[in-house]
């Protein structure tokens, strides 16, 4: 597509988006700031390319004309977003794993006997190379020790204190600043048009709920994630509390994503965004529904501004947020859109 044709199409679509300006009912769930943002170009950090047009077209087709075959009634407007690698940075390591490793120190303070036991001993050395070599079993032991056994409110307070202070090593910024500005615009644009936005993450549901409202404008109850059981009980004064148990209730990865969506929403999403093999089934399930559906997948192909990994398209392989060539081929075959961070996004972060 020539730049000129592209500009023309872009202009038509932006004008179309304005003509399909959200009605009052559509705005009921939106903040005033979101409504104002939607009235101008709703996706200013996106380049004028097919990924952006796909989003604009989808919103116009599903929300502007109630007599249209592609119109979606407000109550059915559900859009789901993976978090790690889709809404914020996941390399070199998932933020929640960094949290768990940091928490080992506090756990050992309470249970000093663990200091000499593996895998805690290795974590305490701070030797990143050795830590990276820990087995999946070791990692599970660390997650269980740092994420379970406490009152849910105590966990919430601990995680909140950490996320308010901990910084990423590359940008020296709070992890919560490392969200992708183009995706923040997508979240706001969907909400301004009456969509309920959900996070559907392989990360811990209780962890992401700590900051989802503040960071993404997504309330706690719209976060679906990997969840352990909790156990209801009474303390010595008869006060009720819930304890986080080391019992997996929902592994919100792969097939667990559509299964978790059914459990906690009960509606097939109209639009879904992901970035890795863990999102495959959610993107298939979304795109496979009746009527107009939108599935989009972020490709990390920008080593300069963020990271580059696949192994799709010859990008370096990774264990964190794997995007295989088979997944890339499925996306192309089934009409999902691949979002190239390098080519589709004018900027990555709000602080740039």
- Report DSSP letters for 111-128, one per residue: -GGGGGSTTHHHHHHT-H
Between 247 and 346, name the residue whose CB sits nearer to its own copies.
247
Between 60 and 222, name the residue whose CB sits nearer to its own copies.
222
List, in sequence order, the alpha helices (H) in the chain: 3-19, 24-27, 32-39, 50-63, 95-110, 120-125, 128-132, 136-147, 152-163, 181-192, 205-209, 212-216, 256-264, 280-287, 325-334, 341-344
- Alpha carbon distance 16, 64 (integer Å): 9
Token pair for 329? 């081929």
The conformation of residue 147, written as its DSSP 8-state character, comes to H
The answer to whether the CB of 341 falls within 8 A of the CB of 300 is yes
- For residue 208, the minimal CB distance to its own copies (Å) is 10
Q: Which residues bind its own copies (CB under 8 A)?
A: 28-29, 75, 78, 152, 196, 205-206, 209, 213, 219-221, 223, 227, 229-232, 239-240, 242, 249-250, 255, 258-259, 262-267, 281, 284-285, 288
- Alpha carbon distance 341, 167 (integer Å): 23
Between 170 and 332, name the residue whose CB sits nearer to its own copies.
332
- For residue 348, the minimal CB distance to its own copies (Å) is 29
- For residue 193, the minimal CB distance to its own copies (Å) is 15
Partnered with residue 339 across adjacent β-strands are 298
- Alpha carbon distance 243, 156 (integer Å): 12
- For residue 249, the minimal CB distance to its own copies (Å) is 7
Between 66 and 112, name the residue whose CB sits nearer to its own copies.
66
Between 127 and 329, name the residue whose CB sits nearer to its own copies.
329
- For residue 150, the minimal CB distance to its own copies (Å) is 13
- For residue 278, the minimal CB distance to its own copies (Å) is 13
- β-strand 196-204 against 78-81: which pairing, if any? parallel
List, in sequence order, the alpha helices (H) in 40-85: 50-63
Between 37 and 89, name the residue whose CB sits nearer to its own copies.
37
- β-strand 271-274 against 337-340: which pairing, if any? unpaired
- Report DSSP letters for 223-245, one per residue: EEEEEEEEEEEE-TTS-EEEEEE
Between 14 and 227, name the residue whose CB sits nearer to its own copies.
227
- For residue 239, the minimal CB distance to its own copies (Å) is 6
């Amino acid at each position: 597509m020539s730049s000129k044709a592209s500009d023309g199409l872009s202009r038509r679509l932006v004008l179309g988006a304005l003509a399909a300006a959200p009605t009052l009912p559509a705005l009921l769930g939106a903040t005033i700031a979101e409504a104002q943002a939607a009235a101008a170009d709703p996706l200013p950090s996106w380049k004028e390319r097919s990924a952006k047009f796909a989003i604009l077209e989808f919103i116009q087709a599903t929300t502007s004309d109630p007599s249209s075959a592609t119109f979606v009634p407000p109550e059915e407007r559900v859009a789901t977003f993976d978090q790690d690698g889709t809404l914020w940075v996941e390399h070199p390591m998932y933020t929640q794993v960094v949290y768990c490793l940091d928490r080992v120190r506090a756990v050992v303070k309470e249970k000093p006997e663990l200091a000499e036991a593996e895998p805690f001993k290795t974590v305490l050395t701070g030797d990143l190379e050795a830590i990276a070599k820990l087995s999946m079993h070791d990692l599970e032991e660390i997650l269980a020790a740092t994420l379970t056994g406490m009152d849910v409110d105590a966990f919430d307070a601990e995680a909140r204190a950490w996320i308010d202070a901990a910084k990423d090593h590359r940008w020296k910024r709070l992890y919560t600043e490392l969200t992708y500005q183009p995706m923040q615009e997508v979240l706001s644009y969907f909400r301004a048009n009456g969509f309920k936005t959900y996070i559907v993450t392989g990360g811990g549901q209780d962890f992401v709920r700590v900051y989802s409202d503040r960071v993404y404008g997504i309330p706690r109850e719209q976060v679906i994630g990997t969840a352990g059981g909790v156990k209801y009980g009474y303390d010595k004064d008869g006060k009720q509390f819930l304890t986080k148990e080391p019992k997996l209730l929902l592994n919100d990865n792969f097939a667990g994503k559509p299964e978790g969506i059914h459990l906690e929403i009960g509606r097939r999403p109209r639009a879904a965004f992901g970035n890795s093999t863990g999102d495959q089934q959610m993107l298939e399930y979304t795109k496979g529904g009746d009527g107009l559906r939108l599935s989009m997948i972020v490709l990390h192909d920008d080593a300069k501004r963020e990271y580059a990994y696949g192994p799709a398209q010859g990008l370096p392989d990774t264990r964190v947020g794997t995007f295989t060539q088979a997944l890339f081929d499925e996306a192309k075959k089934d009409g999902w859109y691949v979002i190239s961070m390098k080519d589709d996004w004018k900027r990555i972060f709000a602080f740039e």
